[in-house]
A and B are shown apart, each in its own frame.
Chain A
Amino acid sequence: MQKWRLIKTIIGSGKMQMAIDEAMMFARSKRIVPNTLRFYKWSPACVSIGFFQNINEEVDILKCDDLGIDYVRRYTGGGAVFHENEVTYSIVLSEEDVPKDIVHSYRLICGALVKGFEKLGVKAEFKAINDIEVNGKKISGNAQTRKNGIVLQHGTILLDVNVDKMFSLLKVPDEKIRDKIIQNVKERLTSLEGKFDFNKVKKTMISAFQETFKIKFKEEKLTEKEEELAKKLYKEKYSTIEWNNGR
């Protein structure tokens, strides 16, 4: 059975987490490391925006600064996300191990999460393009990029959610209907409602990934090369105003 790598939980800033994801993707493209899965925590809490977004249009930076909340632009597309009480995963794997069609590959990788939810006793389903829903409400958002034959997908599993806090940090496309937008999100978003902790969800999802991809994980650290590159990307890319301002 094929052995993939599992990285121990890293607790760190959003900027560092994004740098690590990109460094892992680069190392995989150079065949230095096998396919890799990791779970991580954002500390401090952080708002991430998608590659094609503009930070000033999406995020109330002053409010983030006031509350000590970080912000970062991702390497992947998709929308703005407030990361606080969640399990975040990232997986880096060869394009050969997933369908060429991007939505089909979301379906496969998210399928592992759906299986994990089932193991937790939560009936979930993949909702194209890139979401997982429970009872018709979003519980997980996912985003993918592909470079040099490698797929990076990262995503969230909401342990609990505070929509009011989230919207105190996010701008909305039309301020005149802010209340309506917030109400709508409250009706369309759900979480594991604090019933499971990070480690329980992580362990369950690892098992689900193993079954889905018919592989075994071996827990290892990041290589020195990945750590070096992550530090460089942290400093020279993800901490810069030019990158984070976005488009």
Chain B
Amino acid sequence: MDVNYKAQKLLRLKFELDYNIINDIKICGDFFIHPEEKIVLIEEALIGIKINEVKKIVDDIILRENIQIIGFTSNDLQNALQQ
């Protein structure tokens, strides 16, 4: 499934759902993540997760891995997936 979601920057998501559970996800867009390479950790952490748990999982991982996201929030990501 492809979703474009306008947060402060544009989120372009490609994902597969099995009922409400994320099987695969790629997070693209014109946002910033520091350090950039850690986006993979966010994507991996979301596999097997229910959509309504996305915000909590992303909040946990950005805190644990000291990741800074500029241009969208964990809430935006969850809302985009719920669309």
Question: Would you call A52 an interface residue if the criterion is a C-beta within 8 Å of the partner chain's C-beta atoms?
Answer: yes
Candidates B31, B35, B68; contact of A52 at CB < 8 Å: B31
Residue of B at shortest CB range from A81? B30
* Chain A window 118-156, contacts with chain B (Cβ cutoff 8 Å), 1 for yes, 0 for no: 000000000001100000000000011111000000000
Question: Would you call B27 an interface residue if the criterion is a C-beta within 8 Å of the partner chain's C-beta atoms?
Answer: yes
Residue of A at shortest CB range from B26? A247
CB distance from B24 to the nearest CB of A (A): 13
CB within 8 Å of A: which B47-67 residues: none
Question: Would you call A34 an interface residue if the criterion is a C-beta within 8 Å of the partner chain's C-beta atoms?
Answer: no
Q: Which secondary structure dominates where chain B touches chain A?
A: strand
Interface size class of A (residues with CB under 8 A): 20 to 34
* Chain A window 64-78, contacts with chain B (Cβ cutoff 8 Å), 1 for yes, 0 for no: 000000000001111
Decide: A102 near B33, CB < 8 A? Known: A52-B28, A57-B28.
no
Decide: A53 near B30, CB < 8 A? Known: A129-B8, A146-B35, A173-B4.
yes
Question: Would you call A87 an interface residue if the criterion is a C-beta within 8 Å of the partner chain's C-beta atoms?
Answer: no
* Chain A window 36-49, contacts with chain B (Cβ cutoff 8 Å), 1 for yes, 0 for no: 00000000000000
Interface size class of B (residues with CB under 8 A): 20 to 34
Contact status A52-B70, CB under 8 Å: no
Q: Which residues of A contact B33 (CB under 8 A)?
A: 52, 77
CB distance from A177 to the nearest CB of B (A): 12
Candidates A54, A57, A78; contact of B32 at CB < 8 Å: A78
Contact status A52-B8, CB under 8 Å: no
CB distance from B51 to the nearest CB of A (A): 21
CB within 8 Å of B: which A149-179 residues: 173-174
Candidates B12, B26, B35, B70; contact of A129 at CB < 8 Å: B70
Alpha-carbon distance A51/B28, docked complex (angstroms):
9
Decide: A53 near B70, CB < 8 A? Known: A129-B8, A173-B12.
no
Q: Which residues of B contact A78 (CB under 8 A)?
A: 30, 32
Question: Would you call A11 an interface residue if the criterion is a C-beta within 8 Å of the partner chain's C-beta atoms?
Answer: no
Q: Which residues of A contact B12 (CB under 8 A)?
A: 53-54, 57, 173
The 3 closest A-B pairs by CB, nearest first: A79-B30, A77-B32, A173-B4
B residues apposed to A, CB below 8 Å: 4, 8-10, 12, 26-36, 39, 68, 70-71
Instruction: List 17 A-B residue pairs with CB atoms under 8 Å apart, sorted by A's residue number.
Output: A50-B29, A51-B36, A52-B28, A52-B32, A52-B33, A54-B12, A75-B36, A76-B36, A77-B70, A78-B30, A79-B10, A80-B30, A102-B32, A102-B34, A102-B68, A145-B34, A174-B4
